[in-house]
Structure 1
């Protein structure tokens, strides 16, 4: 007995679709490696994080204060940085400056992981293993370069800016595919 025109409808899951299955098999190794890169970078950045205000970074001290008070920093004011920093000040660890410094470490590590994903997308699918290895090496080389590493341990705008730019480039590359 047929109930209606929908009686013959078969329900399938997304995993049953072959194109999605192939895509997931290609994407998951990259996601796992990106998570490993993020974890490694965050562990190293956290170990070398400035615990509070620093005499070497007067701008960082100002930015940490601005994030806590939601004030205005010099010239442009960095509104997105200030709002993200304010969210990090709600974390129940360390003092306020340490929390804003931690934001630089977290977003810097996320930016390096996104850099790995960007390099994988640019590397192509013809030789995935060498492409992943070269992408991981390039991302880690950038993440542990002296200049970038020094900016992930203090309250500064450079590491969060890398994250925003890398996120934008990665989304554009994914959209173009």
Structure 2
């Protein structure tokens, strides 16, 4: 269970990574799939198979909201990729702090380094600078990992009374995990690769 300090560190990590992505982001309309997504989201259309309905619905709402502030639809959807990516990085930090077994200081250091490594990995970084579906998929994967771990440890005894009081019930966690998996399937078919691990967590 993360404490207040971990949550504050996650917020700082999100802000720093999001700022980095904004600083290096593509400024407007792009070629290829990114251009297709930028137009399809703005017009509430469909992209190439599998259509990516969740991404385009979220993207359309985001684009039209930012348009009220004078942000172009193309640039607005690029920003959304960075938002999803920065959220994935900060959530990975929170997940690893819970998952790792060591002293709190070591756990924080290792979790922070791992999250930063993901953030500046060239492949991941590049997907945060353009209108693409992969950062939302990464966020779903990290969220599934977080919920699955919490579900597997929900009934384990704890010496920390505060942690015991704050724990979410296994039934609630299973419901949230099922919801996230379902939403992820409406976004990207590669969710299928994570399904065996999720089913193991639910069965366990």
The residue that corresponds to 2:60 in the other structure is 86
The residue that corresponds to 2:16 in the other structure is 40
Unaligned runs of 5+ in 2: 154-204
Q: Distance in 1 between matches of 2:70 and 2:34?
A: 19
Instruction: Give the 3-state SS of the residue equivalent to 1:74 in structure 2.
Output: coil
TM-score (norm 1): 0.80
In structure 2, which of residues 42, 45, 52 is the aligned counterpart of residue 68 of structure 1?
42
Deviation sequence 1:63-95 (CA, Å, 0-9, x none): 111111111100100011011101211222420
Kindly state the Cα deviation for residue 116 of structure 1 after the two structures are TM-superposed: 0.8
The residue that corresponds to 1:54 in the other structure is 30
Asked which structure has the greater CA Rg, the reply is 1
- The aligned length equals 150
Kindly state the Cα deviation for residue 149 of structure 1 after the two structures are TM-superposed: 0.5
Q: Distance in 2 between matches of 1:99 and 1:172?
A: 32
Kindly state the Cα deviation for residue 172 of structure 1 after the two structures are TM-superposed: 2.1
Instruction: Please say if residues 116 and 139 of structure 1, whose CA atoms lie closer than 8 Å, have aligned partners that are also in contact.
Output: yes
Kindly state the Cα deviation for residue 145 of structure 1 after the two structures are TM-superposed: 0.8
The residue that corresponds to 1:156 in the other structure is 132
Q: Distance in 2 between matches of 1:30 and 1:176?
A: 21
The residue that corresponds to 2:88 in the other structure is 111
TM-score (norm 2): 0.70
Instruction: Please say if residues 114 and 166 of structure 1, whose CA atoms lie closer than 8 Å, have aligned partners that are also in contact.
Output: yes
Bigger mean CA deviation after superposition, 34-43 or 86-95: 86-95
Instruction: Please say if residues 93 and 99 of structure 1, whose CA atoms lie closer than 8 Å, have aligned partners that are also in contact.
Output: no
Q: Is 2:94 the partner of 1:120? A: no
Q: Distance in 1 between matches of 2:123 and 2:100?
A: 25
Q: Distance in 2 between matches of 1:74 and 1:33?
A: 38
Kindly state the Cα deviation for residue 45 of structure 1 after the two structures are TM-superposed: 0.4
Kindly state the Cα deviation for residue 175 of structure 1 after the two structures are TM-superposed: 2.7
Kindly state the Cα deviation for residue 37 of structure 1 after the two structures are TM-superposed: 0.8
**Structure-to-structure mapping, 1:10-25, within 5 angstroms:** none
Q: Distance in 1 between matches of 2:147 and 2:99?
A: 13
